[in-house]
Copies of this chain bind each other. A is one copy, B any other.
Amino acid sequence: MILTLAGGVGAARMLAGLMLVVPHDELTAIVNVGDDLELHGLRISPDLDTVTYTLAGAINPDTGWGLVDESWQARAMLEQYGGVSWFGLGDRDLGTHLYRTHRLGQGADLAQVTAEITRAWGLDVRLIPVTCDRLRTMVTLAEDDAVHPESPDAPALPAGSEISFQEYFVQRHHGVPVSAVRFDGAEDTTPTPGVLEAIASARTIVVAPSNPLVSIAPLMAVPGVADAVAARREQVVAVSPIVAGAALKGPADRLMLELGHEPSVVGVARRYREFASTLIIDEADAALATAVEAEGMRCVVAPTIMSSPDRSAALARVVLEVDR
């Protein structure tokens, strides 16, 4: 079994690539839930949904999140009421949140609901939320943040304010410097049943090219997960989400810098070397391979930019060959 540690978009593309080269029922992903939120009474799991929709071929290709063929009637009404509309809830996407919220209200846990949702999309890949307990990634602002013209519903906040990940990422367009990241509630969570077993038994563990600080780190913050992954270090292959000093998507590079890490494949290696034995870096960073190896990791240079299914599949093959 090939196990992927997954955030959102980058992980979804990595998994889509793996699906092209590995039988689907041999694929499992442990997915971040630190980005989850409650909004309008609904429970929203953005990373689980991004992975699900992508693997189902139903992701909105224009945005990289949400569903294709989406409409926005509910949001238009919310805007008419002057309600909170910064988090983009499409009408089809709302169906997912309504279903999830209803089932959780009936006493199902997030793992069960996720299995139901992925089954309804016809997916054979197993997606497991890292925990069914409450875990919330919180971000502390390094500077005062005034009201932005592009996000008028975000109140001005002083430096030192702590906000949820989605308030940082979506509402404030990850446009404000950050001084700390914290995984609220992590110490009280337990891994979803099956998570530690999957880590212990996987043939290869892939750390997807997701944000090390806000996608992979919350997975590791669930008690028992980091130790279990570290115990399989020889089988752990990470793909750098940083290419030529920049994140392909999102604020990973800036977050690395703001939180005292080098925003490069070397900085990624320093974050991952305790639990991963191999780092795959992009050809653009080939000159840094020696520096990565100096951090104690094997380094594989390959094209890592998954701009097409073919490229995702090629990267998946590289990942799987590392361990052979």
A contact residues vs B (CB 8 Å cutoff)? 39-43, 70-71, 73-78, 80-84, 89-96, 98-99, 101-103, 105, 116-117, 120
Contact = CB atoms under 8 A, between A and B. Distances in A.
A81 B120 CA distance: 5
Given A77-B98, A83-B98, 11 more contacts: A40-B98, A41-B41, A41-B102, A71-B71, A71-B73, A77-B94, A77-B95, A82-B120, A84-B102, A89-B98, A91-B94
A56 B63 CA distance: 35
B80 A120 contact: yes
A40 B98 CA distance: 5
Q: List the number of copies, as a whole number.
A: 2
Interface SS, A side: helix
8 contacts: A39-B102, A40-B42, A40-B102, A74-B98, A77-B96, A77-B99, A80-B120, A83-B95
A182 B168 CA distance: 47
Contacts of A105: 40-41
Contacts of A120: 80-82
A33 B101 CA distance: 23
A215 B98 CA distance: 28
Given A41-B102, A81-B99, A98-B40, A91 B74 contact: yes
Contact of A73 (B39, B41, B81, B92): B92
Contacts of A78: 95, 98-99
A40 B91 CA distance: 14
A77 B101 contact: no
A140 B71 CA distance: 40
A22 to B, nearest CB: 26
B98 A71 contact: no
Contact of A117 (B43, B81, B101, B103): B81
A282 B10 CA distance: 68
Nearest to A94: B74
